[in-house]
Amino acid sequence: MNFFGAFSTAALPLRPLLLAAGAAAATTGLYAYVTRSENTEGPVTEVVKEQITKLVVSKVQLQNRVRDLEELLCQARRDCDLKSKEYEQEQEAHIILQCKYHQTLFYKEKLLEEREQVREAHSILLAEKEEMIKTLTHKAELLKEREQMKKAYIILQAENNETLTHLEEENIEMKKTLLDQEELLRVTLAEAEENRQKYVETIAQLEKEKNEMKKTITQLEEKSDLTEKVETLRDTVEKLRNQLTETHLPCEELTDECETHSILQAEKDEMKKTITQMEEKNDEMKKTITQMEKNKTITQMKKNKEMKTTITQMVKENNEMKKTITQMEEKNDEMKKTITQMEEKNDEMKKTLLDQEMLLKVTMAEAVEKHQKDVETINQLEKEKTDLIIELNTLRETVEELGKMVLESNRECDERINMEKNKEMKTTITQMVKEKNEMKKSITQMEENNDEMKKTITQMEEEKSDLTDQLKTLRETVEELGKMVLESNRECDERINECEREREARSILQSKYDEMIKTQIHVEELLKVTMAEAEEKHQKDVETINQLEKEKTDLIIEVDTLRETVEELGKELNECNRECDEQKNECEREQEAHRTLQSKYDEMIKTMINMIHKEELLKSPDLNILQSVWDYIKGQKDLRQPTSTEDLWQRLVTPDTDLIRVSLLFVYFPFC
């Protein structure tokens, strides 16, 4: 076994040496045996020769058999080379399959990574969806709060409108009351001014009449025409009586006016009280209005800030929503691209897997066929080996003694080589089986992975459809929210415009109210001033009335005295008339004497003028003086009413008069 095991296909380079060694050992053995037989000749030579011949025949047979075995070994070697080439091809195919398997694993890892990325993107999309839902709920809450704020704003606006209407009604009532008061005050002031003017006129008339009475009294005292003046005095006394009666009437009117003034004063006090009450109410209303305005402004500021913040948040959220939508669309586009790429890769993978499956099926069929052929060849070789073992068992006994030394030296090597070869074959076969099982497992795993990928792709498509539906709904909601935001912005602009209009109207009303208050204060100040002036005028009128009453009493006393004086004057008039008659007679006598003297004086002047030289007198200014004196004397119509010397002196005497002129005047004046 061990000897012929050296002739196996694995140790072909040692075969010639072994054959040569075996042949040499056989020849040496035969030679030693022959030499021994020659040296020891005996009866057994024939047997030995027969044995030698048999051995030679067996040797020849063995050589032939060895040749046949060598041929078989060469064929086996050729077959082994072919099998080794096929094995190398199988190894190359296996390496290619391993490379493809690694590529498939790499693609699988990529697909798993892409799947994880898709899952992460899906989780991100779900998180964004939840955030969008939260933002939508938050926006819905904000819209509800906004509606509540709108309702509260409408309620506050209605309350403000009611308060404004109430204040406007009160302002209108105040205006009406103030207008009525102003009209009453104007009427009362006009009446008071008219009465005052009447009183002033009556006082002026009384003063004029008083002055006239004084003048008449002085004239009565100075002049002699007392009868006419007494009549005038009587007329004036009657006028004074009438005026006194007339003054009694305005005094009564003044008393009535004083009573009305006191009534008006009481009404004025009541009006002041009511005005103070109204001012207090107005102050309270102002305070309430200011508080309402402050609260309203604060609430409006808060609302405006909240609305601005909500609007900014809505705008930011809308921008974020737009950005997220664009990102989602980009991600969806990327997902579509990745899905298309994955589908393409899956198609390629399917194609490659189908090709690999076909190749694996072909290679596995070829490997099975080759394995079957190898098994058959191995079985044949084992059968041939058993036959050879059976045939060589006979030879082993003969060759054992010859080949013990060689076999003992080579046994271990052969056993080791065979063990290693068997181990290598077993390991290769086990590796092939394992690789086959692994390939089957990998194919099953790839099929499972493909099924899972198909399932995941279907799930992703379903999720994609759901996400597209959600995106559509989100777009619709975003459009609705955009419309709501636009409507809210429009409503906010309208509300802001209404607030600005209300503020303008309120500022106008406030300015009107301030003007009304200013006018009311001004009217009150004017009333105070006018009332003070009216009181002063009333006091003055009272003082004038008292003075007039005093003057009336004085005038009554004077009238009594005048009556007494008139009676005395009547008596004196009788005496005066009597004396006047006497004086008239004397005056007539004096006039006749004066006429005679005047005629004589005229003749004297004429003679004097004729006597003076014309040239000298014409040159001198005295002639002019005499001529002027003469003309003045002629101009006097009645010598009964002689001119006063003072007048004549003032007319004739000037700073330019000379002594001659003055002397002539002194000559003339005694005759006057």
pLDDT: is 54 or 613 the higher one?
54
* Measured distance CA(188)–CA(537) in Å, rounded: 14
DSSP assignment of 431-495 equals HHHHHHHHHHHHHHHHHHHHHHHHHHHHHHHHHHHHHHHHHHHHHHHHHHHHHHHHHHHHHHHHH
CA pseudo-torsion sign 658, 659, 663, 666: positive
Residue 363 CB burial class (10 angstroms; 0-12, 13-18, ≥19): buried
Residue 531, both tokens: 């009332």
How many beta carbons lie within 10 A of that of residue 167, not counting itself? 18
What pLDDT is recorded for position 3? 41
* 98-146: pLDDT as tens digits: 777 677 678 767 777 877 777 787 777 777 777 777 777 776 777 777 6
At 499, the pLDDT band (50, 70, 90 cuts) reads low
DSSP assignment of 595-620 equals HHHHHHHHHHHHHHHHHS-HHHHHHS
Q: Per-residue pLDDT for 430 more than 50?
A: yes
Which segment, 246-250, 440-444, 661-665, is predicted with the most confidence on average?
440-444
Sequence-separated (6 or more) residues with CB below 8 Å from residue 139? 314, 317, 481
Domain segments of the chain as ranges = 612-668
Q: Per-residue pLDDT for 9 more than 50?
A: no
Cβ–Cβ < 8 Å for 210, 203? no
* Measured distance CA(218)–CA(17) in Å, rounded: 203
Helices and strands in the chain: count of H runs, count of E runs: 8, 0
* Measured distance CA(506)–CA(167) in Å, rounded: 11
* 311-358: pLDDT as tens digits: 666 667 656 766 766 666 676 567 667 666 666 765 676 666 567 656
Contacts 24+ apart (CB under 8 A), 407-411: 407/2, 407/3, 410/2, 410/6, 410/18, 411/2
Q: Per-residue pLDDT for 61 more than 70?
A: yes
* 158-206: pLDDT as tens digits: 776 776 677 667 767 766 776 776 677 677 667 766 766 766 676 667 6
Residue 197, both tokens: 């003017």
**End-to-end alpha carbon distance in the chain:** 220
How many beta carbons lie within 10 A of that of residue 574, not counting itself? 10
What pLDDT is recorded for position 298? 72
Q: Per-residue pLDDT for 552 more than 80?
A: no
DSSP state of 642: P
By three-state DSSP, how is residue 655 classified?
Answer: coil
At 594, the pLDDT band (50, 70, 90 cuts) reads confident
* Measured distance CA(238)–CA(236) in Å, rounded: 5
Instruction: Spell out where 91-133 has E strands.
Output: none
Residue 324, both tokens: 């997220």
What pLDDT is recorded for position 100? 72
- Average pLDDT value for residue range 393-422: 61
* Measured distance CA(651)–CA(27) in Å, rounded: 220
Residue 114, both tokens: 């892409």
What pLDDT is recorded for position 640? 41
At 460, the pLDDT band (50, 70, 90 cuts) reads low
